[in-house]
Structure 1
């Protein structure tokens, strides 16, 4: 629980017992991990959690009367999309220990980066006859906790969609196409899009199985990741403003490319890599393969 000093009374943390968040994948429930490898924007996140609230103790600790209505709520925030939304909101009445089962399926298209989950117990309604310094305003925080799930993992750092290339200007035989914006200062989420040809069944299937990839899926995902990393690095190196001393704003396309560069080539300089690509494109391609560990186990 947050230990910030509140301008009103609050109950002891022991009034709320919250079980660990659970992640549901293909019908199998497990404890929420620190990160989810191979997550992509087509994959929704199904979550559940059980929270037990001792209502008499919570009201007494906050100085509230027996008629006060409390609410358990949970909200999510995604750093990659800068979006947030509700998981569930459950009002609590009565004079007993209440058990609340929170459950939600979060749309993958709205997520990305680090998914933060905050669970709170708040005051919904008070009769105004509580003890001195008892909370009065609806929404007053009584208890909270937060956990996070990193969704980037080894997956591509961009949204994706599956389309029929025959209905576009792309060649029918291409399996995927990575679109990148030209402005490195623009928001990354609006500057990158991976298009997968639905006719390339091995590729679209691999992304559909990205949460639990099989042997063939892993090979395909590795090849897509390596190729996208190459495209992103070549795109960056063609930009004059992509230099070692550049200071791109957080969550911009430039910052994403700089982060990828340092992850793939720790200890190297951008100028060194640019020179390598200019002098020996074939060696540059080989170094990208090694840096992305193409066809190797993570």
Structure 2
């Protein structure tokens, strides 16, 4: 028996126009760059874009009646973490609408792809080829940003802790830093983040739900602490170096110190940590905006 041919549905055309993309990395405007230089997981991103909607033209192009309603969102996916999500939706009314994503650096990495979409929210079909179901995407346009090179990407893997024996089943993640690695080795081969796919708080995050701010704040603090601790455990070696190859383990450790303790030498930071552990922890909380 021959299968029935199911026709597609009408899509939007030039009646939706995407404006310029805007990208802020830690407050720094990097909108015109395909690669965000100097990015690391402690740097949050804000991505925004205006859309100009000709609503009468959109209704005509999609075959919808006056009762139809549309909404617009930004959808994102980061290859470095494997995570994805969406912005808050905005009604796609006649005129200019503004879309914005606020992304925690801890959930990003690799290549960040952001897609602006217009979705049919309430159908009112007036044409045989008009979409009849809510949630249909009638317009989309995307862009991509490289957040780091392959050499310094934080390797992230999702797996079941209970099945793999990687840690206690109730743990949310395990951050492994190969502290004995050479300073000239690639950082991407020395730092691993394992996310427990069994953990209920992480399960919703990995499925693309809205990130839990408390969870991300705790992850960012632990990532920075581990890198700083690894750097201070070999501060004498770091004191003898002034430059590092891009993407190297030494560069990753050096940048972690400068992010969290700017203007201080590794020896000074190590000495203060040993004298007052409370000061050390408090400084890391402030620099990573823990619970902020």
TM-score, normalised on structure 2? 0.54
TM-superposed CA distance for 1:148, in Å, is: 0.4
TM-superposed CA distance for 1:10, in Å, is: 1.6
Aligned to 1:190: 194
For residues 162-201 of structure 1, what are the structure 2 equivalents within 5 Å?
Answer: 178-179=177-178, 189-190=193-194, 195-197=226-228
Query: Aligned partners of 2:50, 2:72: CA distance in 1, in Å?
Result: 11
Query: Aligned partners of 1:86, 1:50: CA distance in 2, in Å?
Result: 16
Aligned to 1:46: 46
Aligned to 2:140: 144
TM-superposed CA distance for 1:141, in Å, is: 1.7
2:7–2:129: 8 Å Cα contact kept in structure 1? Answer: no
Of the candidates 103, 106, 110, which is equivalent to residue 106 of structure 1? 103
For residues 39-118 of structure 1, what are the structure 2 equivalents within 5 Å?
Answer: 39-93=39-93, 97-118=94-115
TM-superposed CA distance for 1:79, in Å, is: 0.6
SS for the counterpart of 2:85 is strand
Query: Could you say which structure has the larger radius of gyration?
Result: 1
The structure-2 alpha-carbon separation of the partners of 1:119 and 1:6, relative to structure 1 and needing over 3 Å to count, comes to farther
Aligned to 1:209: none
Q: Give CA-to-partner distance per residue, 1:178-230, whole Å, 9 cap, x none.
A: 338xxxxxx95429x672337979xxxxxxxxxxxxxxxxx56x379534589
Q: Does 1:7 align with 2:8?
A: yes
Q: How many residues align?
A: 182
2:47–2:100: 8 Å Cα contact kept in structure 1? Answer: yes
SS for the counterpart of 1:31 is coil
Unaligned runs of 5+ in 1: 161-176, 181-186, 202-218, 232-298
Query: Aligned partners of 2:247, 2:147: CA distance in 1, in Å?
Result: 15
Aligned to 2:120: 123
The structure-2 alpha-carbon separation of the partners of 1:28 and 1:223, relative to structure 1 and needing over 3 Å to count, comes to closer
Query: Once superposed, which parts of structure 1, at least 4 consecutive aligned residues long, lie more than 2 Å away?
Result: 25-32, 153-156, 177-180, 187-191, 193-201, 222-231
Aligned to 2:128: 132
- C-alpha RMSD of matched pairs (Å): 3.6
Of the candidates 243, 248, 251, which is equivalent to residue 226 of structure 1? 248
Query: Aligned partners of 1:87, 1:63: CA distance in 2, in Å?
Result: 27
Query: Aligned partners of 2:141, 2:250: CA distance in 1, in Å?
Result: 37
Query: Aligned partners of 1:47, 1:31: CA distance in 2, in Å?
Result: 9
Query: Aligned partners of 2:22, 2:147: CA distance in 1, in Å?
Result: 15
Query: Aligned partners of 2:145, 2:46: CA distance in 1, in Å?
Result: 12
Q: Give CA-to-partner distance per residue, 1:272-293, whole Å, 9 cap, x none.
A: xxxxxxxxxxxxxxxxxxxxxx
Query: Aligned partners of 2:139, 2:40: CA distance in 1, in Å?
Result: 33
TM-superposed CA distance for 1:102, in Å, is: 1.2
